Structure 1
Amino acid sequence: MSQLSRFKLKSLVAGAALALMGVGAWAGTYSYGADTSGGPTYNRLVESLSVLSNIGTNVQYQAFSFTVSAAGNYDFLSQAAGWDNFLFLYNGFNPQDPLTGALIGNDDFQGTIGTSGFSYMLNTGTTYTVVTTGYSNIDAGTFSSTITGPGDVMPAPVPEPATYALMGLGLAALGALGRRRSVAAQG
Structure 2
Amino acid sequence: MNITKFFRAAIAATALLVGFAHTAQADIVTWTGDTTAGPTFDRPFADFSDLSPNGPGVRYNTIAFAVDEDGEYAFTLHGLGFDTFLLLYENAFDPNAALTNGVAANDDLLNTRTSGFPAELSAGTQYFAVVTGFEAGEAGQYSLTVSGDGTISAVPEPSAWLMLAFGLTALACRQRCKPQR
How high is the TM-score relative to the length of structure 2? 0.74
Letter of the 1:58 counterpart: G
User: Which residue in 1 is equivalent to 2:68?
Assistant: 69
Tell me by how many angstroms 1:161 deviates.
7.2
CA distance in 2, matches of 1:78, 1:146: 6
Task: Report whether the alignment pairs 1:105 with 2:105.
Answer: yes
Contact 2:64 2:127 in 1 (8 A): yes
CA distance in 2, matches of 1:68, 1:94: 21
1:135-183: CA deviation from partner (whole Å, max 9, x where unpaired)? 010100000010000011101122227839x8xxxxxxxxxxxxxxxxx
Tell me by how many angstroms 1:55 deviates.
1.1
CA distance in 1, matches of 2:113, 2:88: 17
Deviating 4+ runs (over 4 angstroms):
23-26
Letter of the 1:96 counterpart: N
User: Which residue in 1 is equivalent to 2:30?
Assistant: 31
User: Which residue in 1 is equivalent to 2:173?
Assistant: none
CA separation of 1:71 and 1:49: change in aligned 2, threshold 3 A: same
Unpaired stretches in structure 2, ≥5 consecutive residues: 1-21, 166-181
1:18-66: CA deviation from partner (whole Å, max 9, x where unpaired)? xxxxx96542200111000010000001112111011110000000000
Letter of the 2:140 counterpart: G
Tell me by how many angstroms 1:126 deviates.
0.5
Please give the residue correspondences for 1:69-148 in structure 2 after superposition, counting only pairs within 5 Å: 69-91=68-90, 92-110=92-110, 112-148=111-147
CA distance in 1, matches of 2:127, 2:147: 14
CA distance in 2, matches of 1:31, 1:25: 20
CA distance in 2, matches of 1:162, 1:32: 20
Q: Which has the larger radius of gyration?
A: 2
CA separation of 1:155 and 1:161: change in aligned 2, threshold 3 A: closer
User: Which residue in 2 is equivalent to 1:158?
Assistant: 157
1:74-120: CA deviation from partner (whole Å, max 9, x where unpaired)? 0000000010000000011100100000111000014x111000000
RMSD over aligned CA atoms reads 2.1
